[in-house]
């Protein structure tokens, strides 16, 4: 039986597209793992917003109460502890996505992807047992951005960070006509530019913008309701845009940005990105100076070192794997035979010493491929590199919230997904290993998982066999995809 998730987000076509896209990204990931996903919304929003209408997810009217769900995700500025508490009777786990830190929540997980956000901002606002995930490393980007990250970063290096192509994309509707002002600014730049402009079908001034482009000395290309945003963004040498969700997409691809604040909740992000020198913050939209935009473009065209620096700073802020980091916190916990609740979370640099201690335990080395105790500096570098490697999925195994082990999935050059599992010898015999393997299978149910278990390690063979792995040859075991 598939897990069920419900999403309650602000899907208003004018102001809520960011909320909706975050939830759609999570829902698509869960659907890929076999979950059934439903959106709680009004009939109007379900039909007005094309992304929601075309998603093919189930629909639940706001006036109807679901009977039960494994997960409820709430991403809505107008909802707080009152709404969330009322859902406790049918939702087994509640996750809140927020970026304001201005109201109380009743949730099991709180996620704020704001760059520079301090988790202490939320501690007075959520239950003491709530897991708080803050920072741009958790930003919910569509898979296409991770897939295009390497290509985008390599193109910039090969192009020596020259600035020839500008991407203008502000927001879903652009009510303040920032796009028009950006085009006017580009016309004040003497050096020729290739300009890509992304417009929604809801843009009120499309005809006027196209008339401006016809008169421009630059090459201007319009793109409407783009589905492959990452491809277009990866081709840009500079972006002009707002400080919302798109900020993390640009960071992931290393795109230097002239950033414009179009909403109050973007001010903190804009200032933090500017402080990190990943963007040039042009400030509040109403005070926008067209000549200033033109001067910034000209300045960057003549300063490739600054363009390179902005790109380097941006790509360090967000690598696009936010959903992968969040997913373990969304999964239902598994009960061990001693009653402990087993779960997974993404590995953190702060776990380096803990894992090193586990690696040095005699029972761990006994069945390791390399029986020698690892050097600490090598171990530290290995942890850091693992967190940077998109072909690795590193997790900490938790029992009632306390770390008890380390689980990892590696993608080899041969296309094989290999599972590695280490449970601290202080927790042997409690059934934690089997539950961790089951959680790994649920998190990666779209993959065939492989594991190498030596013949003399009878206990591990029994654990892997019980978890559904079968021996295929010599010391190798496999668990097929579950859907």
**This prediction's pTM:** 0.89
Residue-level length of the chain: 483
- Which CATH fold would you assign to the domain 334-479? Aminopeptidase (3.40.630)
Q: For residue 111, report the phi and psi dihedrals to the nearest 5 degrees.
A: -120, 125
Measure the CA–CA gap between 324 and 342, rounded to whole angstroms.
18
Residues 6+ apart with CB under 8 A from 102: none
Burial annotation 41-69 (CB, 10 A radius, 16+ → b, else e): beeebbebbeebeebebebbeeeeeeeeb
Domain 4-138: top CATH class: alpha beta
- Which CATH fold would you assign to the domain 143-315? Rossmann fold (3.40.50)
Q: For residue 60, report the phi and psi dihedrals to the nearest 5 degrees.
A: -130, 125
| C-alpha 56, offset from chain centre | 22
- The predicted pLDDT at position 48 comes to 55
Residues 6+ apart with CB under 8 A from 334: 341, 342, 343, 435, 438, 439
Asked if residue 51 lies in contact with residue 225, where contact means CB atoms within 8 angstroms, the answer is: no
pLDDT < 50 stretches in the chain: 13-15
Q: What is the DSSP letter of 75?
A: E
Tokens 């996620």 identify what position? 111
Q: What is the DSSP letter of 369?
A: S
- The predicted pLDDT at position 15 comes to 46
- The predicted pLDDT at position 297 comes to 97
Measure the CA–CA gap between 147 and 144, rounded to whole angstroms.
5
Helix (H) or strand (E) holding 59: strand 58-61
Closest of 435, 433, 333, 408 to residue 3, by C-alpha: 333
Rg (CA), the chain: 24
Is the fold of 4-138 the same as that of 143-315?
yes
Sketch the domain layout of the chain as residue ranges: 4-138, 143-315, 334-479
């Amino acid at each position: 039986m598939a897990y069920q998730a419900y999403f309650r987000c602000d899907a208003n076509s004018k102001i809520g597209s960011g909320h909706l896209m975050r939830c759609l990204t999570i829902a698509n990931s869960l659907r890929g793992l076999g979950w059934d996903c439903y959106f709680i919304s009004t009939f109007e929003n379900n039909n007005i917003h094309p992304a929601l209408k075309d998603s093919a997810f189930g629909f639940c009217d706001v006036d109807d109460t679901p009977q039960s769900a494994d997960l409820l995700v709430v991403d809505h500025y107008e909802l707080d502890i009152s709404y969330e508490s009322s859902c406790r009777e049918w939702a087994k786990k509640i996750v809140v996505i927020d970026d304001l830190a201005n109201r109380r929540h009743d949730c099991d997980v709180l996620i704020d992807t704001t760059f520079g956000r301090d988790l202490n901002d939320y501690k007075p606002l959520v239950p003491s047992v709530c897991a708080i995930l803050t920072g741009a490393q958790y930003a919910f980007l569509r898979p296409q951005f991770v897939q295009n990250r390497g290509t985008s970063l390599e193109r910039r290096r090969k192009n020596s960070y020259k600035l020839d192509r500008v991407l203008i994309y502000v927001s879903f509707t652009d009510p303040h006509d920032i796009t028009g002002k950006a085009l006017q600014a580009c016309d004040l730049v003497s050096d020729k530019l290739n300009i890509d402009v992304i417009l929604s079908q809801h843009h009120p001034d499309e005809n006027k913008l196209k008339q401006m482009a016809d008169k421009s000395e630059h090459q201007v290309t319009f793109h409407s309701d783009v589905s492959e945003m990452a491809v277009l963004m990866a081709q840009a040498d500079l972006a002009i845009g707002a400080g919302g969700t798109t900020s993390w997409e640009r960071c992931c691809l290393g795109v230097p940005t002239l950033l414009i604040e179009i909403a109050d909740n973007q001010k903190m992000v804009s200032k933090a990105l500017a402080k990190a020198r990943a963007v040039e913050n042009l400030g509040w939209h109403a005070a926008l100076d067209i000549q200033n935009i033109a001067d910034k473009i000209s300045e960057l065209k003549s300063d490739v070192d600054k363009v390179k620096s902005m790109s380097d700073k941006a790509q360090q802020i967000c690598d696009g794997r936010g959903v992968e980091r969040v997913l373990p916190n969304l999964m239902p916990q598994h009960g061990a035979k001693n009653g402990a609740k087993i779960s997974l979370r993404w590995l953190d640099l702060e776990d380096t010493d803990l894992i090193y201690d586990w690696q040095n335990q005699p029972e761990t080395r006994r069945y390791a491929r390399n029986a020698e105790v690892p050097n600490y500096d090598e171990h530290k570098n290995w942890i850091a590199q693992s967190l940077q490697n998109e072909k690795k999925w590193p997790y900490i195994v938790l029992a009632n919230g306390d770390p008890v082990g380390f689980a990892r999935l590696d993608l080899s050059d041969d296309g094989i997904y290999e599972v590695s599992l280490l449970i601290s010898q202080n927790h042997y015999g409690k059934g934690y290993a089997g539950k961790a393997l089951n959680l790994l299978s649920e998190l990666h149910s779209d993959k065939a998982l492989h594991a190498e278990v030596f013949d003399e390690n009878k206990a591990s063979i029994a654990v892997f066999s019980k978890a559904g792995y079968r021996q295929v040859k010599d010391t190798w075991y496999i668990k097929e995809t579950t859907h």
